[in-house]
Structure 1
Amino acid sequence: MSSAILSADDLNDFISPGVACIKPVETLPKQQPGTDEDSNPYEVTTEDKLHAAAPPPPAQISLTDCLACAGCVTSAEAVLVSLQSHSEVLDTLDKAAELKLPWLQDGSSGGSGLEEKIFVASVSPQTRASLAATYNVSEREASNMISQLLSGPLGLRAGGKHGSGFTWVIDTNVMREACLVAAAQEVEHTSPTLKKPVLTSACPGWICYVEKKEPHILPHLSKLKSPQALTGTLIKSVLANKFGVSPEKIWHMAVMPCFDKKLEASRAELTSHTWHGQDMEAIRDVDCVITARELLMLAESRNISFPCLPRTPVSKTFAPPFPDPILNKMLFGRRVSKYTAHKLDEVAQIGTSGGYLHHILRTQQALHPGSNIKVHRGRNSDVAEYTVVSAQGREVFRAARYYGFRNIQNLVRRLKPVKASRVPGATRRPGGIRKPGGGTGTTADAEYAYVEVMACPGGCTNGGGQIKVGDVATLRQVKGTGSESGSLGQEILPAQREWLAKVDEAYWSASSASSDETDHDRETDDDEDMDLGMNETDFDTNDKPPTTNSINNISTPQIQHFLSHWSSLTGVNQEILLYTTYRAVESDVGKSGTAAEGSEVDKVSALAVAAGGGW
C-alpha cells in the first residue's frame, strides 16, 4: 500500500495506475486549436512527433472509480485510508484511558480525570489464517496470540501511557453466521425493490466499483451489512444501551484482510445515526480498520514479539463476560464452526469469503428435499455456475460465483439493461449472453437468482492486507526458504500459489476443531466471457441432508433468536440493525478544478491536520 509515504501536505497529486489495472487509461494528446499556423487537420501524427510532445498529465484514476487495487489511489484518498492505521490505534490508546468493566457496573468513572473509552476489537478468520500460516501455528493458536496481544498482560496492556487494552476481542465469524441466515432469507423473500439476481454486498471493493461506475447494478445489491459492519453495530448499540454511555465512548477496531474495509468503515450509512437517532454527532460503527500486516506493526511499535506471545487463551481476568448472558454465550460460549467439509473439492466450492453462495445453495436444497446441487465450472477457478436440481430433474435455483474484476466485468456486461435501437420498432442488447453450453440466449433463460461477487481473485484470504509470501522469511526471522536455483520470475508465481493454499488450509483448520470446544478460561453462561459448464459435476455435500433448521451446522432458529434478542435489548428494529443502503456517486475523474474536488481536498486536509490525525 503506497499510502505510507504520503503526507497531509501533498494532496493534489495522483499516483499512477498499477500495471495490472484493468481499466484503460486514455492519455490522448491535448488539442491546441488556433495556436499553430502550420497545423494541418488532415496530417497523420507519427510516433516520433507524439513522443516529442509534452508528456500527458498524470492519469486521474482513483478509488472512487475502479477501487480494488492499491495502485490507483489519489493522495487524498490515501490519506483518508492511512488515518486508519496501527499508529491511530496506539495514539487512541495513549489519549484515552480504558473504561474498565467494574467502573461501568457501578455507574461511576475511574476518577482519573482523563478521557475514557471502552476498547473493543473484532478479528476476521482470514486474518487469523494469514498469521497462522506465517508462524506455522493452528488457526486456534493464532486466535489466542491475537487476543494475548490486544487483551493480555504481555500485550498492549504492558505499555503505553495508561496501560490500556481491549476489553473484548470478538470473532466476526459469529456475525457472519447471522449474515448467512439473513442472506438466505433475503434471497427467498426478495422485496419489490431488490431485483434478481441478488448480488453479494460484503466486498467493499465491489460495492465502490458499482456505486461509481455501474449504477445500473445498484437495484441488484443485497442490502445486508457485511460481518464487519454488523459486528460494529452490535458492539456499539448493545454497550451504549447496557451501560448508558454515548457511542463516542466506545472505540471499535476491526482487523480485516483488505484495505478496502477501511473505506467501508468510513461510509456515512454505517454510523450511530441509523440506530441511535440523529440528535447527536454521527459516530462510526467501526472506528478503525487495520490489516494482518498492520497488526504485526502494532506489536512491533510496542516492542512486542508477536510469535513469542502465549498460544493459550487469555485468562478470564483480562477477558470479562459480555454484559448480556445470551449475547455472551453467542459471542464467546461456543466454538464457531465454519462448515463441515470433508473433501477438498467441497472446500473449494465453499471458498474463503464467508460462504454466502454455499449457504444459500444448501438452504435451497433443504427447501427442495431430494434435490442435488450441480456445478458448471468456468474457464478459471474464480467463475462457476451452480444449479439446484429437484428429484424430478427440474432446475429450481440457479446461482454463480464471480471473483476478480476481470470476471466481474463480464457479469456487469451481462446485467446491462436493454438499450433502445436506432432502428424504429426494434431493440438491441449490449451483447450476446453466453449460456452454460456456450450458446447465446436471452436474459430469461440465463438468469441467476444469486451471485457471490468478490473483488479479489481467489477470495478474501487473498486480500491486499494479508501477509505476502515475500515477507514470511523476515517475519519468522529465518533465512529465505525455497529453491535458490532458477530465475526469480520462474519462482514467484508457484511460491505465491503454494502460499495462498497454505493460508486457505489454515482458514479451514478451524473446521477440524470440535464445535463444542470453548476457551476454558473465559467465563461463559480474463476479458472475454467465461463459458460455464465445461465440467459439470454433482456437488459433494455432507452425508446428512440439510434441513431448514440447520444448514452446515448453523442453527437458523438460534440465529433468529439471537437477532430478536438483540433488537429487543436495544429497542431498535431488526431491519435497521441488519440492513444498509447504497447510492450512485458521480465520478470527478477528469473534472480538474471542480468544486467537488476542492471540497474533498479541503476535507481531507482538515482531517489530516486535526489533533492526533484521527477521526
Structure 2
Amino acid sequence: MREAPRESDVYKKKGNTPDESGFMASLFSGALVLTDLDDFISPSQACIKPVEAIKPPVFSASSSHQVAKIEIRVDDSGDYYEINSDTGSSSKLENATITLNDCLACAGCITSAETVLITQQSQADLYAILDRNKAHAGTSPSYKTIVISLSPQSRASFASKYNTSPTDTHAKLAWFFQKYLGVQYLFDTSFARHFALWESAREFVTRYRHSSSTSNARGSDAMMPMLASACPGWICYAEKTHSYILPYISTTKSPQQIMGSLVKDWLASHIEQEPSSIYHVSIMPCYDKKLEASRPDFYNDLYSTRDIDCVLTTGEVEKMFSNHGLTFESLETMPIEPSWTKSSVNPLGIPVLLGCEGTSSGGYLSYIFRYAARELFGVSLTPQDVEAGNASAGVVVKQGRNNDFWEVCLVQPQDANGRPLLKFAAAYGFRNIQNLVRKIKPSTCCSSGSTLPPARGRRSTRQTAESDHHFVEVMACPSGCINGGGQLKPDLDVLNSNLASGAGKEWVMRAESIYRSINDGVQLPEANQEVQRLYREWLGGDDTEKAWNMLHTHYHAIEKFEVNALAVKW
C-alpha cells in the first residue's frame, strides 16, 4: 500500500491554506448571499459586529485610589500596547476576534463569515488531527477516533464526473480515507436520513391533526404549512430575516446533524469512548453545511465537543487527492462498511447502498406525502404516484412557473370544502423561497398594532398562513442539494461544451440521474431493521425525551442591531 506523507506538509506544499483558497461568496447558497443586501460586506472588508470591551474600574475623586494615566501606543509592527504613564509599564492588547458563532448570531452580513468558516473547517484541521494521531499512536488522550460521514449527493457528484457507479465511488473514497489516510470509520448519511424522514413524517401528521382540531388550544405544533428543515441556508435566512416563519419550520434535525448525534452519542458509547475523543467529519455538497455544524445548538457543553467537528465539501475532498499526488481514477477500493451504509447484499453478493425515494434533496416531499396519505386517509401510494401523478389514486402533480417549483395534491376523495386533502410543494432557489415567505407573512399593519384599515391589496390579520399548502420542501439552491456550491464542476476540456459551460442543467441532471440509480437499496424508514433497532436500544422508543433531544432542534430569531455607519471601516 502506498505510504501517505505527513498530512500538514502536503497541505502546505500545495499552497492550499485557507487564505490562499480564493473562495468567494458565490459558493454559498443564494439565500445567504442575498440576505440583507444593504448590510453586505465582502470578506476583505471590516466586520460590523460590535465587540464588547472590558472597561477598567473608575474611581471617584474622593477615593483613596489614584487614577492611573493610560496611553495607547502602536509599535512598528502594528501591535497595540497599553502604557501606564506613571510607572512606564506596558502590556500588549489582545486583538478582537470574530468567530463563526458571532457571525451566526449577527443580523448583518453572512458572507463575511467565509474566511473564518474556511479557516475553522478545512482540510488543514483534518490533517492536524491525522498528524497528532500518528505522533501519539493511540497512547495519549490527544488521540482521536476519526469518523467520516459521506453524503450521497457528494458521492453522486464524484460518480458523475468520473463516470463510475455510486458503489465503486464509495469504495474508492473508503480506501482513500481509511486505508491511505488512516481514518477509522466511513459512514453514509443516507442512514441518518431514514431517521430524519421518519421523524418529519410523524411530526407532520401530528401538526395536521392538531391544525384540523376544533380546540382553541392550538400551539406551534399546529402551525401549517410545515416547512422542511434540512437546508441550513434556508434556516439561516429565515432566522435572520423572517423570524415569524420559524414556528412553521419542522423541528427535525437534518441528516448531517442526526448523524452527528449517532456518532457522538451512540457510536461513542458503543466503542466505549467519550464524545470528545471522536473527531467527526462530514462530506457535504454545499458550504452552508459548515454553518449548520457550527450552530451552538449542536455543541455538547458537558464534553466540550460538537456533533460535527469539520465539514468538507465535495470539491475540497477532490483537492485532497491532488495534494497527495493522486487522482480519483488511481484510487484503490475496499469493502464497504456492513452497517450504517448498505441496506443489504443482493443475490450476487454485491453490497447495495442505502437509497431514498424522491429527489436528491432528501425525498421529504415524496415520503411524507405517502406517509400522511396512509396514516390520515388510508390511501396507499407508490413513489411513482407522487413523482408522476396517478389520477386513479387521486394524485395530481402540477408544474409551477419554473422547474424549481411544483405541487403534489391528493384530490380524491375531497373534503367538505372541496379542497385537496393534501397539498404539498417543492420550492428550490431564492426566487421561490421569496414567493413562499410572502404568502406566509402576517399582516404588517395589524401586527404592528395599527388601528388603520389594511391598505389596498394588503392581507388582513389571520390566525393561519395565507398559503394553502400543507408541506413545502424548501431548498436554497436551484435544483436542490445536487447543485450545491461545493459540488464538482466539469473540467474545461470536457468534449461536450454544453457540460463544460459551468454547472449547467445537463451537468446537474447527470448527477441527479446517478443519485437516483441506487434503486435496490431504497427502503422505508419503518422497514429498516437497523433504524428500528436503534430507536429501541439507543433512544428507548419513538416518543421519548432522548429521541427528541437527539433528533430535533430549536430555531432562534436573530434581532437586528443598529450600527453607526461612520464607525464601519470600508
Are 1:141 and 1:312, in contact at CA under 8 Å, matched by a contact in 2?
Answer: no
**Partners of 1:198 and 1:411 in 2: CA distance:** 12
* Stretches of structure 1 lacking an aligned partner (at least 5 in a row): 9-13, 28-56, 100-109, 157-164, 341-349, 434-440, 474-478, 484-489, 517-549, 599-615
The one of 447, 457, 469 aligned to 2:468: 447
Helix, strand or coil at the partner of 2:297: coil
Helix, strand or coil at the partner of 2:504: helix
Query: 1:585 corresponds to which residue?
Result: 558
**Partners of 2:559 and 2:451 in 1: CA distance:** 32
Query: 2:71 corresponds to which residue?
Result: none
Query: 1:401 corresponds to which residue?
Result: 426
CA offset at residue 405 of structure 1? 0.8
1:37-436 to 2 correspondence within 5 Å? 74-97=111-134, 112-113=139-140, 115-152=142-179, 155-156=180-181, 165-190=182-207, 192-194=219-221, 195-273=223-301, 278=302, 280=303, 282-313=304-335, 335-339=352-356, 350-367=358-375, 368-370=377-379, 371-391=393-413, 395-420=420-445, 424=451, 426-427=453-454, 431=458
Are 1:364 and 1:388, in contact at CA under 8 Å, matched by a contact in 2?
Answer: no
What amino acid is the match of 1:125?
P
Query: 1:498 corresponds to which residue?
Result: 506
Helix, strand or coil at the partner of 1:189: helix
Query: 2:390 corresponds to which residue?
Result: none
- Structure 1 pair 98/135, CA: closer, same or farther in 2 (3 Å)? farther
CA offset at residue 91 of structure 1? 1.4
CA offset at residue 338 of structure 1? 2.6
- Structure 1 pair 84/310, CA: closer, same or farther in 2 (3 Å)? same
Are 1:6 and 1:75, in contact at CA under 8 Å, matched by a contact in 2?
Answer: no
Helix, strand or coil at the partner of 2:290: helix
CA offset at residue 366 of structure 1? 2.0
Query: 1:564 corresponds to which residue?
Result: 536
CA offset at residue 94 of structure 1? 0.4
Helix, strand or coil at the partner of 1:290: strand
Are 1:61 and 1:73, in contact at CA under 8 Å, matched by a contact in 2?
Answer: no
The one of 517, 528, 535 aligned to 1:509: 517
**Partners of 2:29 and 2:550 in 1: CA distance:** 40
Helix, strand or coil at the partner of 2:144: strand
What amino acid is the match of 1:186?
E
- Structure 1 pair 89/507, CA: closer, same or farther in 2 (3 Å)? same
What amino acid is the match of 2:554?
T
1:21-32 to 2 correspondence within 5 Å? 22=34, 25-26=37-38
- Structure 1 pair 295/86, CA: closer, same or farther in 2 (3 Å)? same
**Partners of 2:555 and 2:463 in 1: CA distance:** 28
What amino acid is the match of 2:510?
K
Are 1:174 and 1:336, in contact at CA under 8 Å, matched by a contact in 2?
Answer: no
CA offset at residue 92 of structure 1? 1.1
**Partners of 1:557 and 1:240 in 2: CA distance:** 21
CA offset at residue 506 of structure 1? 1.3
What amino acid is the match of 1:364?
A
Helix, strand or coil at the partner of 1:510: coil
What amino acid is the match of 1:457?
P
**Partners of 2:479 and 2:551 in 1: CA distance:** 27
CA offset at residue 373 of structure 1? 2.0
Helix, strand or coil at the partner of 2:298: coil
CA offset at residue 406 of structure 1? 1.4
TM-score of the pair, normalised by structure 2: 0.70
Are 1:151 and 1:166, in contact at CA under 8 Å, matched by a contact in 2?
Answer: yes
Are 2:189 and 2:256, in contact at CA under 8 Å, matched by a contact in 1?
Answer: yes
**Partners of 2:292 and 2:176 in 1: CA distance:** 25
CA offset at residue 168 of structure 1? 1.3
**Partners of 2:499 and 2:270 in 1: CA distance:** 55
- Structure 1 pair 116/577, CA: closer, same or farther in 2 (3 Å)? same
Once the two structures are superposed, residues 85-127 of structure 1 have per-residue CA deviations (whole angstroms, 9 ceiling, x without a partner) of 112111111012499xxxxxxxxxx674572111111000000
What amino acid is the match of 1:464?
G
Are 1:383 and 1:400, in contact at CA under 8 Å, matched by a contact in 2?
Answer: yes
**Partners of 2:373 and 2:406 in 1: CA distance:** 18
- Structure 1 pair 209/5, CA: closer, same or farther in 2 (3 Å)? farther
**Partners of 2:495 and 2:518 in 1: CA distance:** 26
What amino acid is the match of 2:480?
G
- Structure 1 pair 5/590, CA: closer, same or farther in 2 (3 Å)? farther
**Partners of 2:185 and 2:499 in 1: CA distance:** 42
**Partners of 2:467 and 2:451 in 1: CA distance:** 27
Query: 2:479 corresponds to which residue?
Result: 458
Once the two structures are superposed, residues 359-401 of structure 1 have per-residue CA deviations (whole angstroms, 9 ceiling, x without a partner) of 1111123232455221221100111122112346862111211
CA offset at residue 295 of structure 1? 0.8
Are 1:25 and 1:59, in contact at CA under 8 Å, matched by a contact in 2?
Answer: no
Helix, strand or coil at the partner of 1:258: coil
CA offset at residue 564 of structure 1? 2.5
Helix, strand or coil at the partner of 2:131: helix
**Partners of 1:299 and 1:225 in 2: CA distance:** 31
Q: Does 1:481 align with 2:495?
A: yes
Helix, strand or coil at the partner of 2:299: coil
* Stretches of structure 2 lacking an aligned partner (at least 5 in a row): 1-14, 50-99, 211-218, 380-392
**Partners of 1:148 and 1:430 in 2: CA distance:** 60
**Partners of 1:359 and 1:19 in 2: CA distance:** 25
**Partners of 1:411 and 1:215 in 2: CA distance:** 14
TM-score of the pair, normalised by structure 1: 0.65
Helix, strand or coil at the partner of 1:351: coil
**Partners of 2:499 and 2:514 in 1: CA distance:** 23
